[in-house]
A = this chain, B = another copy of it.
Amino acid sequence: MVNIHDVARKAQVSVATVSRVLNKSSAVSFSTKIRVEQAITELNYEPSTLGRNLRKLESRLLLVLIPSISNPFYTDVIKGIEDTAINLDYNILLCQTNSNPKRESIYFNLIKNHLADGIISMDPTVNKRNLMDLAEKHPIIQCSEYDIDGSIAYTTINNELAAYHAIRYLIKIGHKKIALINSDEKFLYARERRQGYERALKEFGIELNLSWVYHAESLGFEGGQQAMRQLLNHPNRPTAVFAVSDILAIGALNEIHTNGLHIPNDIALVGFDNISFSTMTHPTLTTISQPMFKMGCIAAKMIINKIQGKKVESIILDHDLVIREST
């Protein structure tokens, strides 16, 4: 493999001069510059990023931790991260933890080993203690999921308020019997969305019926189906359902159809995330839209600022209620 010395020899200059031409770091006379560039072309030389990074003590690689790419919510966030990162000459390493602690530690080692410069964590299942320990020595920010009491900067939406808006809307169009399909409340977003649900009910004088609050066992379609199955068997069936993710909502929608009921006449349905599938269901799904692409861009900017030693502040983004046919 041809290296910088070969180029230097061919162009009859020192390696320093070659490096200067490569990095435009200081003045090189026109004639030698041409000579060096010619040598580079003739030898088909490509500088080794490995050597460069070792010297500069950086990898220009960003780790993005997600539970799984199968959830389309992450798709657009990642697009935002990638766009921003590439523009600033960083590449991203997408890491699916599958909520597996062993995987997690592999990826944590990557940053300890200097193979990555920073981490954007979007994984709610990550070990918070380990993450915070790591954040003492390495640049880390959280995206979408975060810790209230942690010292790690984050960008997210106001989950409590978003859920509140969804429920308030259901109440305003006449619903009083509103169920909640939540995910596991070990996740902060699940706790927050539940709080928003409860606040809206309280504010409109509707009593909280705990038997209408379900926790899905999985985050896939089946989770929504299972939860809905139980809600449909409830002696006092709700007239509206708020699911904390579109995937759960779509599972619920499926189950409602299987039972021959009509949406929204028999049951109204609201999801969360505004994934692209939510326009392909029948009826189309009313949902809360998060600014996913923007969130990704901001997360990327935050982590790069952090890597460069700047101070970063957490940022809360706006959400929207997207009203479609399911309500």
Beta-carbon nearest neighbor of A224 in chain B: B280
Beta-carbon nearest neighbor of A253 in chain B: B280
Those of A258-296 within 8 Å (CB) of chain B: 276-277, 279-282
Tell me whether A49 and B106 are in contact (CB under 8 A): no
Tell me whether A114 and B49 are in contact (CB under 8 A): yes
Tell me whether A109 and B46 are in contact (CB under 8 A): yes
Q: Does A94 contact B (CB under 8 A)?
A: yes
Per-position binary interface string of chain A over residues 67-104, scored 1 when its CB falls under 8 Å from any chain B CB and 0 otherwise: 01110100110110010001000011110100000010
* B-side contacts of A244, CB under 8 Å: none
Tell me whether A49 and B115 are in contact (CB under 8 A): yes
* B-side contacts of A69, CB under 8 Å: 69, 75, 78
Q: Does A112 contact B (CB under 8 A)?
A: yes
How near does chain B come to A1, taking the closest CB pair, in angstroms? 8
**Range for the number of chain A residues in contact with chain B:** 35 or more
Per-position binary interface string of chain A over residues 1-28, scored 1 when its CB falls under 8 Å from any chain B CB and 0 otherwise: 1000000000000000000000000000
Beta-carbon nearest neighbor of A103 in chain B: B86
* B-side contacts of A114, CB under 8 Å: 1, 48-50
Q: What separation, in Å, do the CA atoms of A1 and B72 have in the docked complex?
A: 39
Beta-carbon nearest neighbor of A282 in chain B: B257
Q: Within the complex, which residue of B78, B86, B96 is in contact with A106, where a contact is CB–CB below 8 Å?
A: B86
Q: Does A32 contact B (CB under 8 A)?
A: no
* B-side contacts of A282, CB under 8 Å: 254, 257, 282
Tell me whether B276 and A254 are in contact (CB under 8 A): no
Q: Within the complex, which residue of B51, B72, B279 is in contact with A221, where a contact is CB–CB below 8 Å?
A: B279
Beta-carbon nearest neighbor of A58 in chain B: B50
Q: Does A38 contact B (CB under 8 A)?
A: no
How near does chain B come to A262, taking the closest CB pair, in angstroms? 13
* B-side contacts of A47, CB under 8 Å: 113
Q: What separation, in Å, do the CA atoms of A86 and B225 have in the docked complex?
A: 33
Q: What separation, in Å, do the CA atoms of A295 and B68 have in the docked complex?
A: 18
Those of A101-131 within 8 Å (CB) of chain B: 103, 106, 109-110, 112-115
Q: Does A53 contact B (CB under 8 A)?
A: yes
Tell me whether A277 and B277 are in contact (CB under 8 A): yes
How near does chain B come to A55, taking the closest CB pair, in angstroms? 9
* B-side contacts of A279, CB under 8 Å: 221
Q: What separation, in Å, do the CA atoms of A276 and B51 have in the docked complex?
A: 44
* B-side contacts of A79, CB under 8 Å: 96
Tell me whether B53 and A50 are in contact (CB under 8 A): yes
- Provide a sorted-by-A list of 5 A–B residue pairs whose CB atoms are within 8 angstroms: A47-B113, A50-B59, A91-B93, A92-B94, A93-B94
What is the interface of chain A, defined by CB distance below 8 A to chain B? Answer: 1, 46-51, 53-54, 57, 59, 61, 68-70, 72, 75-76, 78-79, 82, 86, 91-94, 96, 103, 106, 109-110, 112-115, 220-221, 250-251, 254, 257, 276-277, 279-282
The 9 closest A-B pairs by CB, nearest first: A49-B113, A94-B94, A46-B112, A49-B115, A70-B75, A50-B54, A48-B114, A54-B54, A50-B114
